[in-house]
Structure 1
Amino acid sequence: MRRHRNMRRHICFAMLAGVFATAAAIIPFGGAQAASCEAGKSRADMTEADAQAVYDCLQSVMYENYNKGGKNWIPAEYVKNYRDWKLANTAPAAPGFHGDRYLMTWVNPVGYDAYVEFRDENVEIPAGTIIAKESFDVAENGSAKAGPLFIMQKVEEGRSPETLDWYYMMVSPGGAPVAVDVISACSECHKENFGHQGGLGYPVLDVRVGN
């Protein structure tokens, strides 16, 4: 089972690699503050505290840059308001999916209580739930940079059955909305790996709220 799951993860990485490269190329993340946010060690040597320190350094400029410019088909209020929601993790979640980046998962009040039950079956997430996942990366040389902001919106049952009634959106590190084929780039990966839990990918166990 673990071998099959790892294979599915590699497939997702391959599918998303081009998407992430495009997102990074649209508007690069930079500036003096970004340049000063260094881990000082390779990702393999990172501790939970190290990851938190990097996020603490990046977070203000990440939020500022995500909100730059127009959002077109992405509701701008999702990007503006997600920091008013609650975090589902107590520290950056270790790299896994989403291009092997660290993630901070914010959930709006509509779905927060249901999400943090972290169920692996019989998952019931109400329509109107919105999840925003900030991402950042730490390279082997210790340099740190922001990644895209990933957004999931739960719509009413039957509205988008091919995506388990989730809408997927992505904002580049510089604020531009990223046009992706959400069926192949997002939904297929979520269904393949997390279909048993309603398409939800949770933070790793060690940093889940309540643990």
Structure 2
Amino acid sequence: MRRLLPMAGATLALLLVTSAAQASGCIASKPGTGLSADEASAVYDCLKDALLDGYRQGDKRWIPGDYVDSFRLWERASRNPAFSPAHGGRHLLTYVNAAGARDYLRFSDSDVTMPVGTLIAAESFSVDERGRAQPGPLFLMEKVEPGRSPQTDDWFYMAVAPNGSPMVMDVISACSACHQGRFGQRGGLGYPPVEARAVPVPASGGQPE
């Protein structure tokens, strides 16, 4: 994917395997589609060091390296990893930087205008039908200046493979068309499922609903 073309207690049994052939070494007790929140969190705890180490490897080319280095310091928008069929059947854990955190964490379903400079990151992993967990890409969205990328509602989409390589893809069809088609009424924002969301920020003071 070229950035110059803006893209649009867990009881889970985990086994650490040292074989080089097993990329993650993390084994779940059931397929990914059946994982509870606690079980998905346990898989993530097993994978999280490998995920970050992988994303940080190598030259990021058109993707700013500080996005990859710092995303875990941003605000967590997810309480736990959540299954996303739209992202290849992976579990995602979502973060948003300070520029966009307050607006994003309202999880509004309409009339959302994100500030320029908003960055959203989602690290991911998959769990196959035998419970074998594998690192997935780091997905990134950046809100840019009005008119800079009208085809994607002024979002750049980027992705880093588990080995740290920038991913090349058609960002219009692979990213923007899905986000705008499903979430156009809220500025193309995809949110974690309701049950996995961090505590929303109230629109104007008081306590969250």
Q: Is the shorter-chain TM-score for this pair beyond 0.5, marking a shared fold? A: yes
Cα offset, 1:31, TM superposition? 4.7
Taking the aligned partners of 1:111 and 1:141, their CA distance within structure 2 comes to 38
The one-letter amino acid paired with 2:99 is V
* TM-score normalised by structure 2 residue count: 0.83
2:131 paired residue number = 142
1:96 paired residue number = 85
In the alignment, is residue 87 of structure 1 matched against residue 71 of structure 2?
no
The one-letter amino acid paired with 2:135 is A
Aligned-residue RMSD, C-alpha? 1.6
Identical counterparts, % of pairs: 49
1:74 paired residue number = 63
In the alignment, is residue 55 of structure 1 matched against residue 39 of structure 2?
no
Cα offset, 1:158, TM superposition? 1.6
1:3 paired residue number = none
The one-letter amino acid paired with 2:28 is A
- Kindly indicate which of the two structures has a greater share of residues assigned to helix: 1
CA contact (8 A) 2:27 2:131 kept: yes
Among 29, 34, 45, the alignment partner of 1:45 is 34
Taking the aligned partners of 2:147 and 2:167, their CA distance within structure 1 comes to 25
Taking the aligned partners of 1:42 and 1:169, their CA distance within structure 2 comes to 28
SS at match of 2:131: coil
Taking the aligned partners of 1:110 and 1:95, their CA distance within structure 2 comes to 25
Larger radius of gyration, structure 1 or 2?
2
Cα offset, 1:142, TM superposition? 0.5
CA contact (8 A) 1:34 1:58 kept: no
| More divergent stretch after superposition (42-51 vs 32-41) | 32-41
The one-letter amino acid paired with 2:148 is R
Among 106, 109, 112, the alignment partner of 1:123 is 112
Cα offset, 1:34, TM superposition? 4.6
* TM-score normalised by structure 1 residue count: 0.82
The one-letter amino acid paired with 1:125 is M
Taking the aligned partners of 1:31 and 1:70, their CA distance within structure 2 comes to 23
CA contact (8 A) 2:24 2:50 kept: no
Cα offset, 1:66, TM superposition? 0.3
1:110 paired residue number = 99
SS at match of 1:150: strand
CA contact (8 A) 2:24 2:47 kept: no
Please identify runs of 4+ aligned residues in structure 1 that moved more than 3 A: 30-35
